[in-house]
Amino acid sequence: MFKKVSTHHFITLLYSFYSVHAGTKSFLQNAAEDLIERLDESTTTFDLLRVLQAYSEISTDFVKLFMQLEGLFLQRFEQMSTSEITTCASGFAISGYGSPYFNKMME
């Protein structure tokens, strides 16, 4: 979709759409497919949290994205601040996703 745009800038664009409640479902689905390919251990926690927030209220069609986010958050759980964990837990609670293990970690 936006192959020449860095992952950080792509997430910033998505988060801007989320902030003003803009963007079509088709756009967000295409963006999610792109994110699944882009997100990895090098993506900052800040950017992962923005992806989580952008998709948490419309999560039903984005199972793969949320599974990937869960894995990435679990990998860095020990390094996350209290506010990051709180934001993460809230986003997953809103989305309805999160394995029993993940939910236990968030408690």
Per-residue pLDDT of the chain (107 residues; tens, 9 = 90+): 578 899 999 999 999 988 887 767 788 899 999 999 999 999 999 999 999 999 998 888 899 999 999 999 999 999 999 999 999 999 999 998 888 888 888 87
Is 1 inside any structural domain?
A: no
How many domains does the chain fold into?
Answer: 1
Distance of alpha carbon 14 from alpha carbon 2, whole angstroms: 11
Residue 40's pLDDT is what? Answer: 96
Residue 1's pLDDT is what? Answer: 59
CB neighbours (10 Å) of residue 97? 22
Note the helical H segments in 1-107: 7-19, 25-38, 45-56, 63-75, 82-95, 100-106
Is 2 inside any structural domain?
A: no
What domain range is 28 assigned to?
7-106
